[in-house]
Amino acid sequence: MATLAFEELFDPHFMESLHRLRLVAGRVPIGGRFAEQRSKAMGHGIEFRDFRPYSPGDDLRAVDWNIYRRLGRVFLRLFEEMEDLPVYLMPDLSASAYVSEAGPSNSELTPRAHAGLRCAMALAAIALGQHDSVGVFPFSNDVRVAIRPQSGAGRLVTFAKILSTLGPDDDSDSRQTDIAQSLQKFGAMNLRAGLLVMISDFFDPAGIEAVCKALGRTRHQLLLVQLVRKGDRTPDPVQMSGDLRLVDAETGDAQNLSITKELLERYTESYDAFESGLTDFATRRKCGLLQLDVDDPVVDQLATLFEGGRYQV
Amino acid sequence: MSFEFLSPAAFGAGLLGLAAALYALHRLRVRHREVIVPTTIFWKQAMDESMARKLTASFRHPRAYAFVLAILGLLLLALAGPKLGAGKGRSYVVLLDGSANMVRGDHRDRDLALTLDVLDVLPRDRTQFVFAGATPYLVLGAGESTLLFEERTQDLQPEASPETITQELLRLARSTAASGGKATTVYVIGDVKLPGALAAHLAERSGDRLQIARVRRAAIAEEPNAKTNTALDPGIVALGVAPAASGEWGAMDLWIESVGNNRPSIAGLNEGRNLEASAADGVAATTGWWVRDLGLDELGDRIRVTATGAVTEGPSAFPHDNQAELIAPITRGTIPVWLGPDVPGAFRDAVAADPGLIISELPGNAVVISRTAAPGARAHWLLQEASSLDASVVATGGKTSFGTIFNSLGLGYLESGDADAAPITFAAQAGDAPALSMDGALFAAPFELIEARAFPLLVGFSARWLAGTETMLPFAAAGHELVSGDFGPGLTDASGRLYPATGAGLVPPAAGDYEGLTASLLSRSTSGAGAPADLIGATNSSALTELRLSDLKRAGGQDLSTWILFLALLLLLAEWHTYRTGRMP
């Protein structure tokens, strides 16, 4: 149950439903491989972008001879360079994403990490399908490299296999969420600026302020996928009633309490503050924020992010 | 509001106990249900916030406590049997007739069922149930549950005796008046005939604290064993004794009253002999026979009268009146009397003439008649100077039982020659050392009391009163009067005639105790001869208040138990809803 089966990740229907979705970057940084995203570099692309005066050493094939004939001066025609968008997927593998939660009628719900991995797989498939490079960097209290950035639609099966092997760490320390440290380590990898997709419940013991602060320091474009459940904001009154001993899945800390209406109201207020903190950050940073209900189909929710089938990074 | 099964104090104590027990339970450390959650950060923040806003934290679930306490309190209240408007403070006595009349048909079962219904609508904590058989018997005391009713009444059968309800009512009136206690309502159930004047009489005796009413069902079934042809099935309707009219001390006269053509036979039990011939030779009166001069020693301690020619089988048979029994008076012993040397000789003559008295040679253990006290005497009749009398009691006042004797002999006033009639005074002292003091001058000129025709009776009655020996009282069962006289609580009918409470143990005008008499008789009406005019109950019986069970239900108050249980159920639902909506743990 901890890991996700390969068949669940590489489901033909699941992959088919992603074909109409595209990631579109404004300008990808210079230094990438030739691909489909517009980059800041000028080069030998197809789409005209600008003129500039000729200087010695320039490629004569780029001289616009029509201008030279009319004006008697030599200008070069500049074309957009099409490069790839680096997409860095950071799925959350902390214990909170793998905790078994009870649903209606005490049925056991799937871990929210599974939805996160399916989301990661979907984004990887979209990016690989348009020749962008994709890397997978799962994290909990630290980040590690599961798949180095690579491109090519043919890599999809490899991605699925590797994602299906991802699961929670046995080490108790590694099961805690530390987004700040993970981002710091990720930043230290000095990767080419791209789209950083953080897929997490963002339940960091350090608090949402610390999380936002760490996210604000990253130089990548951000897409935040928040793994949520319906019971996160308003706990099920049947499940969460009476005298409870709540055990934190990550830290193991226990909290004895008696559920009352007032306590539930305080809880909802606290959760709302957490959510508004994340939303405010996304608004300030102008980054995407998708609240992915882990119990609903992933692609349908992901499609809401892609207006007209495109998500503008 | 009153409680049927619990006193208000017991209810309050129970509620306090419940509150304390529940409080203790709420203070107990609970076992928390463990739930693993993705994070507890929001719960911690919520707890911190709640703690900051909470005024007190010592009591964990005041709402749950209030709910449970309210629900259990209501259950306790329902268990207490609350009734609304049940006459707060008033006591109730249910008197069921247990006399021989109740053997008729299904009267016993019918009225037992009615009694249970009546008890169900009255407040149990203030209601007694008394079965008025030969001796009134408390079946259910105040506060005892009606669940005990069946067990305690299954062996109760009508007893072979006349009704004792009148006697019990008079006792209740006396005790209520004496104690100055709660107002009491008595509900009478059964066939007993009670005079209409009884209610007012009891109210007067009890200082308006005792009310009486008869309870009947709305419809009374036909009496299957009602007898129609008395000629075919004779029966005994009255039996009584009286001192022998001949004056023979060791004998009595027996009164037999029967219906039918045949005279009954008489037998004495316990070594007695068959007295059938005596019965046949009895002197016929208007409604029965006197059998004269039956020797007490011959009869034994019980007298049985059997109706000759009674039918024991068939539709007209009514076996309950075929036989009657009477406890014979205790054999009267002779009283030793010692006469002092200074008393007039007329005293000696009177003692010698009385068959119940013998002259003793020694004063020890004898009734002493003298001018001075003698040591070791059983009692004293002292003839003293008028000035040395300790107390004066006007005989006509009838303030003591001895005064009653005095009056009954017509000695209340004595003419003293040329003087006007003056009251005779005496001092009477009952108790362990009975004594009677009279002015010795009364027995000499000019008064010459010894010359009075009643003087021998005065000597005889006085000696008996002093000795505490029983006086055989005229007695008859089934409400018949054999003699008139105020020998205790009695009743006055519409014509002003006074009736003793017959069928009861009467208190005799004697210093000693007296054992009551009982008889096994059916009433005349039961035996099919109709209600005789001289039955006590036949006079003005319609004036007694009669209630139906439905009236009593209104008077007994409305039972709130069902409503309280319903309210408890509503509270339970509210608690469940509050719990389900997360407003209560």
Q: Which two tokens stand for residue A311?
A: 């998500």
Residues A195 and A92 placed together within one structural domain of the fold: yes
> What percent of chain B shows pLDDT beyond 90?
8
How many Å apart are CA B430 and CA A167, to the nearest integer?
Answer: 111
Question: Residue B555 contacts by C-beta under 8 Å, 6 or more apart in sequence?
Answer: B87, B121, B547
Task: Say if A261 falls within a structural domain.
Answer: yes
Residues of A in Cβ contact (< 8 Å) with B28? none
Task: Say if A175 falls within a structural domain.
Answer: yes
The pLDDT of residue B21 is above 80: yes
Residues A282 and A167 placed together within one structural domain of the fold: yes
Cβ neighbours, 10 Å, residue A114: 22
Task: Say if A148 falls within a structural domain.
Answer: yes
pLDDT tens digits for range A133-172? 899 999 998 999 999 999 888 888 999 999 999 888 777 6
Average pLDDT of the segment spanning A217-231: 91
Give the B-side interface with A, CB within 8 Å: 30-47, 49-50, 53, 60-61, 579-585
- Host domain of residue A155: 6-25+85-312
> What letter would DSSP give residue B152?
H
- Cross-chain residue pair A247–B35, CB shorter than 8 Å: yes
Average pLDDT of the segment spanning A291-302: 89
Element spanning B129, H or E? strand B127-132
Residue B332's pLDDT is 58
Residues A199 and A290 placed together within one structural domain of the fold: yes
To the nearest whole Å, the CA of B85 is away from the closest chain A CA by 42
Give the A-side interface with B, CB within 8 Å: 96-97, 99-102, 112, 201, 203, 205, 207, 237-251, 253-264, 266-267, 269-271, 274
Task: Say if A73 falls within a structural domain.
Answer: yes
Final residue before a domain boundary, out of A83, A117, A149: A83
Residues A211 and A125 placed together within one structural domain of the fold: yes
Residues A225 and A245 placed together within one structural domain of the fold: yes
Residues of B in Cβ contact (< 8 Å) with A261? 581-584
For all residues of chain B together, what is the average pLDDT?
A: 70
**SS3 state at B339:** strand
Q: Which of A275, A265, A227 is nearest to A101 (CA)?
A: A227
pLDDT tens digits for range B148-195? 999 999 888 876 566 678 778 878 887 887 776 678 888 999 877 676
Type of residue at B300: G
Question: Residue A253 contacts by C-beta under 8 Å, 6 or more apart in sequence?
Answer: A247, B40
Residues A69 and A175 placed together within one structural domain of the fold: no
To the nearest whole Å, the CA of A240 is away from the closest chain B CA by 8
- Among all residues of chain B, which has the CA nearest to that of A100? B36
Residues A114 and A127 placed together within one structural domain of the fold: yes
Asked if residue B467 lies in contact with residue B379, where contact means CB atoms within 8 angstroms, the answer is yes
Q: What are phi and psi of A28, to 5 degrees?
A: -85, 150
The pLDDT of residue A120 is above 80: yes
pLDDT tens digits for range B487-509? 344 444 444 433 333 333 333 33
Q: In the CATH hierarchy, which top-level class contains the domain B91-225+543-556?
A: alpha beta
Asked if residue A302 lies in contact with residue A294, where contact means CB atoms within 8 angstroms, the answer is no
- Cross-chain residue pair A237–B46, CB shorter than 8 Å: no
Residues A104 and A233 placed together within one structural domain of the fold: yes
Q: Which two tokens stand for residue A203?
A: 């339940």
Residues A145 and A273 placed together within one structural domain of the fold: yes
Residue with tokens 């070594």: B271
Final residue before a domain boundary, out of A44, A67, A83: A83
**Chain B interface mutation, best of A243, A265, A278, highest count of B Cβ atoms under 10 Å:** A243
Residues A64 and A98 placed together within one structural domain of the fold: no
Residue B501's pLDDT is 36
Q: Which two tokens stand for residue B489?
A: 């609580």
Residues of B in Cβ contact (< 8 Å) with A263? 46-47, 50
Q: What are phi and psi of B66, to 5 degrees?
A: -65, -40
pLDDT tens digits for range B524-552? 444 444 433 333 333 333 456 777 777 77
pLDDT tens digits for range B565-580? 889 899 888 888 887 7
Task: Say if A209 falls within a structural domain.
Answer: yes
Asked if residue A87 lies in contact with residue A195, where contact means CB atoms within 8 angstroms, the answer is yes
- Cross-chain residue pair B38–A96, CB shorter than 8 Å: yes
Task: Say if A224 falls within a structural domain.
Answer: yes
- Among all residues of chain A, which has the CA nearest to that of B60? A258
Task: Say if A1 falls within a structural domain.
Answer: no
How many Å apart are CA B570 and CA B564, to the nearest integer?
Answer: 10
> What letter would DSSP give residue B546?
E
The pLDDT of residue A234 is above 90: no
Asked if residue A115 lies in contact with residue A298, where contact means CB atoms within 8 angstroms, the answer is yes
Residues A265 and A129 placed together within one structural domain of the fold: yes
Which of the two residues, A238 and B372, has the higher pLDDT score? B372
How many Å apart are CA A151 and CA A128, to the nearest integer?
Answer: 6
Residues A158 and A218 placed together within one structural domain of the fold: yes
